[in-house]
A and B are shown apart, each in its own frame.
Chain A
Amino acid sequence: MKVFLSLARLYLQSFYNLPGARRRSGAASGAQRVAASRPAANFRTMLKAVGIGLLAVFVLANFGFMFVSLNLVLYDSLAPLGLQGFVLLNAVILASVLTLLVGFMTALSTYFMNDMEFQLLALPIPPRALLGAKFTAVYVAEALLSLLVMASAMLIFAIKRQPPALFYVAGSLAGLLVPLPVLALVYAAQIPLLSFARFLRNKQAILVVGGLVGIAFAIVFNLYYQGMMANMSDSVWLLRNAGPDSVLAQFGRAWPPAYFAWQAMVAPGLVGFGRNLLPLAAICLGAPLLLIVLLGGRYAQSLVGFNEQFIRKMTAPASSGFLADRLRTGNRFWSLVKREIVGMNREPMYFLNGPFIIVLLPVLMAVMLGVQREALLEGESLQALTGLLANGAGTVVVALAGAFLGSGTSITCTALSRDAKLLPYLKSLPVPAHHWLLAKLVHGLIFAVFGVAMAALIFGFFFRLAPLDLAAGSLVGLALSFLCNLLGLLLDTVNPRLSWDNPIAAMKQNPNAVIIMLGVMGLMGGIAYLSFRFRLTTGQFVLLCGGLPAALFVVLLLALPGWAARRFTALEV
């Protein structure tokens, strides 16, 4: 038990990059350790914490708002039919499905974290403790998600009906318990899968599969949400899809945890509790136990031989031919850029959390626009919309979407952090400091161009914008995303995250990425406000929102060989 607890703590710390893990990890450099005791550094640590906190609040509020509004509409539509209880069933099922999908991805991508797992395998740890600890670490995030869903449903009931206190107890317990059997199922599927499918036992394959599942999940969820919201006024549709005979309800009755959780909330009394919460707890606690007892050993075995790579050796003549073929001089600066591109985009962890956004968001947008196209393009609303878009709004929309896609790749604002391990070597090469920075910027700009093109493509296609409007919007989008990329690079030069053992830390948990993301969103909001408030003409819009950032970009570019290069040279690694 003691082993299990300290293992669970270790996993929790390195999953969520809690301070304990960083302090204990040997890789935290002495410099950082010494610096941490200084007030300036403390302030910086605080800033980071505040930044990450802001992001968390932002994301939570976003999802919370979505769930609450969904439940509110659902309640208002079902209450007249006396079926408001189904809102709760709906919430329980939503929590189950969400934890299934998120759990599937989290469990898969953390199945084998890094070579730390090999060291754990070499320790005398019972395999069941190993699986149990990992389960616990994944469960924590799942429980939070599930609680969020349940809380959003309970909030509606709190406002509309003032249920007894026991209702909230039941709801919270349900929120905590529901993910447990779901996650057990996930592992029960993944452990045999990874034991037998060798090709999956590779971080790369796992991340690719995870990314695809992620897209599929995002699309399905989007469709579900859009469909729900679009058809709320149609009571026949509603009954069919959320009423007592719907697939959802049937599924709810067939999946006992959902049924018991739902009943416990509908009948929150001591008797109801005994009849519903006890079986719920038994199932939900029993499932993980069963999993750990039965599959613990298999799980530990499936970790063996993870990340094996196979290189086929060349024959002697083949290798001579290969060398003559592939070893060629190239342009020096382009060589630097190529290294940036390959180094980032061949690492699935970086690619999926960075440049992949250029593919992911447009796919989502296209699906959304595809679904709503009929609604958008019907009769009067169509006329209003085309009128608005032709009057310059189309340019603004393309510009903002382009700016977002072009700046959201997190390429430049993590460029130095990602290179932390390489910096000593790179700095020993005869390359001027600002060339390194410039190469990082060019990498960001190349993807910015892709992002803007993607935005122009989608909106141009769906809204049939005039070519001139499209060009104007793309120009502004380019100017904005170029500026944001440069700002991101400068930010990561001032405050890179250099001590990490897991690439996630350089990318996902990099406060610079968060700051730039929030900054871009703020900028977009500001520009949208400006352009509509002052009814800017397209010409004015291009001049103000495109020309100004472009000028600023050029001015800031001067900082690269000067101030930024000096910062880079002074970095101690």
Chain B
Amino acid sequence: MLEFSGISKSYAKSPVKAVDGLELRVADGEIFGFLGPNGAGKTTTIKLLTGVLRPDAGRMDIDGIDIAAEPLRAKRRFGYVSDNPELFARLKAYEYLNFVADVFGVSSLDRQQRIDHYAGLFEIKDVLHGSIGSFSHGMKQKLLVIASLLHDPANWILDEPMVGLDPKSAFALKEIMRQRSRDGKLVFFSTHVMEVAEKLCDRIGIINKGRLIFSGSVAELRAAQGADSSLEKLFLELVDDEAEAQP
């Protein structure tokens, strides 16, 4: 379970808030899609949630654990896929996986089984001995996804995970999300792909200029906007309305 209450953050004391008074609650078993235009504050929110950044105000709880007060306990409760897979170019893939598994204290057997399963699913099992620097963007992305699942976290947090994945892998990723949700685990991810959000998510949140302007199911968004159109259209209208409301 994720809870944000009154979260605000501005970078380098800049007067503009990248995230402004965020209030949000995501329940276990939910797949939550986080939408918003470029620069809206999605990545910032996720970085705050994962303890990469510290909020100027407010508090966040992961499974009831305050991340500011007990960062280590809270961090063991989630797996994180960052928006930039261009990391660890000098490590070999299996070295990186061992590193993450060691950090989370995953047993040899568990890590072997999970890596075998997910690497098979994403079809990168045959290159795990290779250097990450020689991987394509999508291969790196898959590796990051696998690493985030090594400790089978109750909460899975992903920043634009579909970018650069081929259709088959994107499908596999969505399947994993659905399976986790069925198992009562939480999935929180940001995306620009409206179809994915519409079909996959139990609820969505839309953020614009740091402020959460909607949260709820797509059906609720339709009702609120009084239109029976696609999420894409609803999204564009909502963001446009916002722009007109505060020039």
Question: Chain A residues in contact with chain B, CB under 8 A?
Answer: 30-32, 34-35, 309-311, 313-316, 319-320, 322-324, 326-332, 335-336, 338-339, 342-343, 346-347, 421-425, 427-432, 569-570, 572-573
Cβ 8 A contact of A309, one of B11, B87, B134: B134
* Contact present for B11 and A31 (CB under 8 Å): yes
| Residues of A with C-beta under 8 A to B95 | 338, 342
* Nearest residue, chain B, Cβ from A435: B103
Task: Compute how far the CA of A95 lies from the CA of B51 in the bound complex, rounded to whole angstroms.
Answer: 55
Interface hub of A35, A327, A339, A423 (most chain B Cβ within 10 A): A327
Contact B75 A313 (CB under 8 A): no
CB-defined A-B contacts under 8 Å, sample of 17:
A35-B12, A313-B127, A314-B127, A316-B125, A319-B125, A319-B128, A320-B116, A323-B94, A324-B112, A329-B106, A330-B98, A343-B90, A347-B90, A421-B87, A423-B52, A430-B104, A573-B52
A-B contact count (CB 8 A): 135
Give the distance in Å from the alpha carbon of A347 to the alpha carbon of B128 in the complex: 20
Least Cβ–Cβ distance between B67 and chain A, in angstroms: 10
Residue of A nearest to B53 (CB): A572
Provided the pairs A331-B102, A339-B99 are in contact, do residues A428 and B80 lie with their beta carbons within 8 angstroms?
A: yes
Interface string of B7-35 (1 = CB under 8 A from A): 00001111000000000000000000000
A428 touches B50 (CB 8 A): yes
Instruction: Say whether A339 contacts B127, CB under 8 Å.
Output: no
Task: Given A421-B84, A428-B50, A572-B12, answer yes or no on A332-B129 (Cβ-Cβ < 8 Å).
Answer: no
Whether A326 pairs with B98 at a CB distance below 8 angstroms is yes
B86 close to A (CB within 8 Å): yes
A37 to chain B, nearest CB (A): 10
Complex Cα distance A322/B12, Å?
Answer: 46
Complex alpha-carbon distance, A331 and B129, angstroms? 21
Q: A316-B126, A342-B90, A430-B72 are in contact. Are A332 and B98 (CB under 8 A)?
A: no
Contact with A along B84-125 (1 / 0, CB 8 A): 101110110011011111111111100110011001000001
Q: Which of A34, A329, A338 contacts B14 (CB 8 A)?
A: A34
Q: CB distance A427 to B126 under 8 Å?
A: no
Q: Is B192 in contact with chain A by the CB < 8 A criterion? A: no
Cβ A34 vs Cβ B11 within 8 A: yes
Contact present for A431 and B52 (CB under 8 Å) = no
How many angstroms between the C-alpha atoms of A331 and B105 in the bound complex?
Answer: 9
Q: Does B155 contact A (CB under 8 A)?
A: no
Measured CA separation A338–B52 after assembly (Å): 22
Closest to B95 in A: A342
B129 & A314 in contact (Cβ 8 Å cutoff) = yes
Q: Are B102 and A322 in contact (CB under 8 A)?
A: no
Q: Known contacts A309-B133, A309-B134, A327-B111: does B100 contact A429 (CB below 8 Å)?
A: yes
Across the interface, which residues of B come within 8 angstroms of A421, CB to CB?
A: 84, 86-87
In the bound complex, residues from chain A placing their C-beta under 8 Å from that of B105 are: 329, 332
- Give the CA-CA distance A425 to B131 in the complex, in Å: 19
Known interface pairs A31-B11, A342-B90, A573-B52. Does A428 touch B75 (Cβ–Cβ under 8 Å)? yes
B174 at the interface (CB under 8 A from A): no
B54 touches A424 (CB 8 A): no
Q: Which B residues lie within 8 Å of A34 (CB)?
A: 11-14
Give the chain B neighbours of A429 by CB distance below 8 A.
75, 100, 103-104
Q: Give CA–CA (A339, B72) in the complex, Å.
A: 20
Q: Does B137 touch A at the CB level, under 8 Å?
A: no
Determine whether the beta carbon of B126 is less than 8 Å from that of A330. no
Is B211 at the interface (CB under 8 A from chain A)?
no
Q: Shortest CB–CB separation between residue A261 and chain B, in angstroms?
A: 45
Q: What chain B residues lie within 8 Å of A424 (beta carbons)?
A: 47, 52, 82, 84
| B-side contacts of A570, CB under 8 Å | 54
Closest 7 CB pairs of A and B: A309-B134, A430-B75, A335-B102, A311-B130, A31-B12, A428-B50, A346-B90
- Secondary structure class of chain B's binding surface, majority of residues: helix
CA distance A329 to B98 in the complex (A): 7
CB closest residue in chain B, given A335: B102
B108 near A329 (CB under 8 angstroms)?
A: yes
Shortest CB distance B91–A (Å): 6
A431 and B12 contact, CB distance less than 8 A: no
Closest chain A CB from B89 CB (angstroms): 8
Known: A342-B91, A428-B82. A327 touches B54 (CB 8 A): no
Q: Please tell me if the beta carbons of B128 and A323 are within 8 angstroms of each other in the complex.
A: yes
A316 to B127, CA, bound (A): 10
For A338, the chain B residues whose CB sits under 8 A away are 95, 99
Q: A356 to nearest B CB, angstroms?
A: 16
B86 to chain A, nearest CB (A): 7
Question: How long is the Cα–Cα vector from A503 to B35 in the complex, in angstroms?
Answer: 34
Distance of A429 Cα from B80 Cα, bound (Å)? 9
Q: How many Å lie between the Cα of A31 and that of B51 in the bound state?
A: 18
> Which residues of B from 184 to 218 have beta carbons under 8 Å from A?
none
In the complex where A314-B129, A424-B47, A424-B52 touch, is A332 in contact with B90 (Cβ < 8 A)? no
Asked whether, in the complex, the Cβ of B102 is within 8 Å of the Cβ of A332, the reply is: yes
B113 to chain A, nearest CB (A): 10
A323 engages B127 (CB within 8 Å): no
Q: How far is the CA of A322 from the CA of B119 in the complex (A)?
A: 13
Chain B residues in 8 Å Cβ range of A335: 98-99, 102-103
B103 partner residues in chain A, CB cutoff 8 A: 332, 335-336, 429-431
Tell me if B125 and A323 are in contact (CB < 8 A): yes
Cβ contact within 8 Å between B128 and A322: yes
- Measured between beta carbons, the chain A residues less than 8 angstroms from B54 are 569-570
Say whether, besides A326-B94, A329-B101, A331-B102, A30 and B108 are in contact (CB < 8 Å).
Answer: no
Q: Mark B151-179, 1 if CB is under 8 A from A, else 0.
A: 00000000000000000000000000000
Instruction: Establish whether residues B88 and A343, one from each chain, have CB atoms under 8 Å apart when the complex forms.
Output: yes
**Which chain A positions have C-beta within 8 A of B127?**
311, 313-314
The complex places the Cα of A326 from the Cα of B105 at a distance, in Å, of: 16
Residue on A nearest B9 in the bound complex, by CB = A572
Q: A315 — which chain B residues lie within 8 A by C-beta?
A: 126
Q: A323-B115, A572-B12 are in contact. Are A330 and B94 (CB under 8 A)?
A: no
Shortest CB-to-CB span from A281 to chain B, Å, is 46
User: How long is the Cα–Cα vector from A236 to B101 in the complex, in angstroms?
Assistant: 71
Min CB distance A442 to B, Å, is 15
CA distance A367 to B59 in the complex (A): 63
Shortest distance between the CB of A361 and any CB in chain B (Å): 25
List, in ascending order, chain A residues with CB within 8 A of B126's CB: 313-316, 319
> In whole angstroms, how far apart are the Cα atoms of A205 and B19 in the complex?
46
Bound Cα distance A339, B97 (Å): 11
Task: Name the distance in Å between B12's Cβ and chain A's nearest Cβ.
Answer: 4
Once the chains are docked, how many angstroms separate the CA of A343 from the CA of B106?
Answer: 22
Distance from A486 Cβ to chain B, minimum over Cβ atoms (Å): 24
**CA–CA, A501 and B103, complex, Å:** 28
Specify which chain A residues have a CB less than 8 angstroms from the CB of B116 in the assembled complex. 320, 323
B17 vs chain A, min Cβ distance (A): 13
B147 to chain A, nearest CB (A): 10
